[in-house]
Chain A
Amino acid sequence: MTAPAAPEELSLLRLYVMRAVYFLIAFGEGSQVVPALFVHEPTARGVIPALLSGLCLLCVLGLRYPKAMLPLLLFEMAWKTIWFFAFGLPQYLSGEVPPTFAEDFKAITVGVVIMPLVVPWGYVWRHYVKAAGDRWR
Chain B
Amino acid sequence: MSAAAPSFWRRGSEEVSLARLHLMRATALLGVWGLFATMQALFVHDPLDRGVHKALIGGLWLMAVLAFRYPLKMVPILLFEMTWKLVWLLAFGLPQYWSGAGSPRLGEDLWSIGVFPFVCAIVIPWGYVWRHYLRAPGERWR
Contact = CB atoms under 8 A, between A and B. Distances in A.
B43 interface: yes
A67 B99 CA distance: 43
B50 A50 contact: no
A87 B70 contact: no
Interface residues of A, number: 61
Given A71-B73, A128-B66, A98 B92 contact: no
A57 interface: yes
Chief secondary structure at chain B's binding surface: helix
A128 B76 CA distance: 14
Nearest to B21: A134
B139 A71 contact: no
A90 B48 CA distance: 10
Interface residues of B, number: 58
B87 A50 contact: yes
Contacts of A43: 96, 101-104
A94 B139 contact: no
A121 interface: no
Interface of A: 8, 12, 15, 37-38, 40, 42-51, 53-55, 57-58, 61, 63-72, 74-76, 78-80, 82-83, 86-88, 90-91, 94, 96-98, 100-101, 104, 108, 127-128, 131, 133-137
